[in-house]
Amino acid sequence: MIKPFKYDQKHPDRDPEPINGHGTYIDKWDEDHVHMPCSPLSLTVDFANEYIGGGVMGDGCVQEEIRFTVCPEMLTSLLVCEVMKDDECIFLIGCERYCSYKGYGFGFRFNNDYIDNTPRDSWGCRMCHVVAIDAICFSDRRSQFSMETTERELIKAYTGFQTLNIPAEQPRVGVATGNWGCGAFNGDVELKAIIQLMAASEAQRPLVYVTYREQALAQLFSSVWDHLIDHQATVGATAVKSWYDEVSQYNFNWGGFSMATGHFTQVVWRGSQKLGVGVARSSTGAVYVVAQYTPPGNYQGQFQANVRPKNSC
C-alpha cells in the first residue's frame, strides 16, 4: 500500500510514522509557463542533487544549476551543506536574483540584467524562499514504482513541504513546483505529480504545478484534481486501507490465494509495477472502486516470492 510518512525533526532517530491522511487536495495545474514563481506567496522547489548545487560549478545546466547561476548567493550553500539524507531538505532564504536568461542545458545563455523587486522582510532579506529536495536518479525507470522508492520520495517531498509550529487556522504559503526528478533523473511525471500532490495536501499547502508547457499533462491532472475535490478524497484512501487490512487474515507460511485476502495480496504484489484506479458512485450512493495492476498478481505458485512479511522486504 502506498502511503506517505511523517518525519519527526524533533526526534531524528525515530522511524517515520504513517500519516493518517485527512489532508485535502489544493492545487493549480499551470500549462502556460515554464518558470516557477518566486514570491512571498510561494515556497519554490529546487530540483536538487543530493549534493546541493549539483553540477553548477562544472558543466551542469539544468533546473538547479540555472537557479544557482541567476541567484549566485545560493552558491554559499555549497560551502556549508553536507550531502542530504533521505529525510532531509535544505532551505535557501532571501537570495536575490541578478540576471535573466534564455535556453536550457547546452542552450543556456545570459539574457539581460534583472531587477529583483521581491519585497524585503524585517531583516532586509528578499522574501524569496526556496527548498531543495533531491529525487532518486533511476537507471531503471521501472524501479521507481516499487514500494520502497515511492515511500522514499513521499518522505522527501513531505520533509520539504511540511510546516512546523504554525497554527492550523493560519494560512500556509503555497508550494511552486513542477516535474521534480524527471528529465535526466528518469522520473515518471505522472507519479511525481501525484507524490507532490499528496505531500502538499498533508502539509496543508496550496500547490502550483508548472508543467513546462506539457498541455496533455496539465489537462490530465486538472481532471484528476477535479475528481479528487468532487469526491472529497484524502491521502489515506479508505478503499486501499480496507484492502490492506486483510493482512490480518493472511497466512505468510501458507502463501496462497484466498477470497478473504485477495485484495491485500494484489495491493502488495512485488511484481506489479503500475496501478490504475477507477471510482464510481451509483444512484443509491454506493461507491465502487476498481483497481487494475500491471503486471497483475495473485498467481498460484508465486505468492512466496511476491507477498512477503514486512520485516523481510
Active site residue 151: no
Catalytically annotated residue among 30, 46, 88, 246? 46
Among candidate residues 260, 242, 237, 254, the one with its CA nearest the CA of residue 307: 254
232: left (phi over 0), alpha (psi -120 to 50) or beta: left
Strand order through the sheet with 129-134: 27-30, 207-210, 174-177, 42-48, 129-134, 90-93
Q: Which amino acid is at 74?
A: M
Active site residue 65: yes
Catalytically annotated residue among 27, 30, 65, 151? 65
For CA atoms 58, 64, 67, 68, the dihedral sign is: negative
The CA distance from 14 to 309, in Å, is 21
The CA distance from 128 to 41, in Å, is 9
CA angle 232, 212, 39 (to 5 degrees): 75
Catalytically annotated residue among 64, 134, 188, 246? 64
Q: What share of the chain is helix, strand, coil (3-state, %, to 5)?
A: 30, 20, 50
Helix (H, G, I), strand (E, B) or coil at 44: strand
Among candidate residues 128, 117, 119, the one with its CA nearest the CA of residue 94: 128
Active site residue 82: no
The CA distance from 112 to 187, in Å, is 32
Instruction: Quickly count: other Cβ atoms within 10 Å of residue 4's Cβ.
Output: 24
Active site residues: 46, 64-65
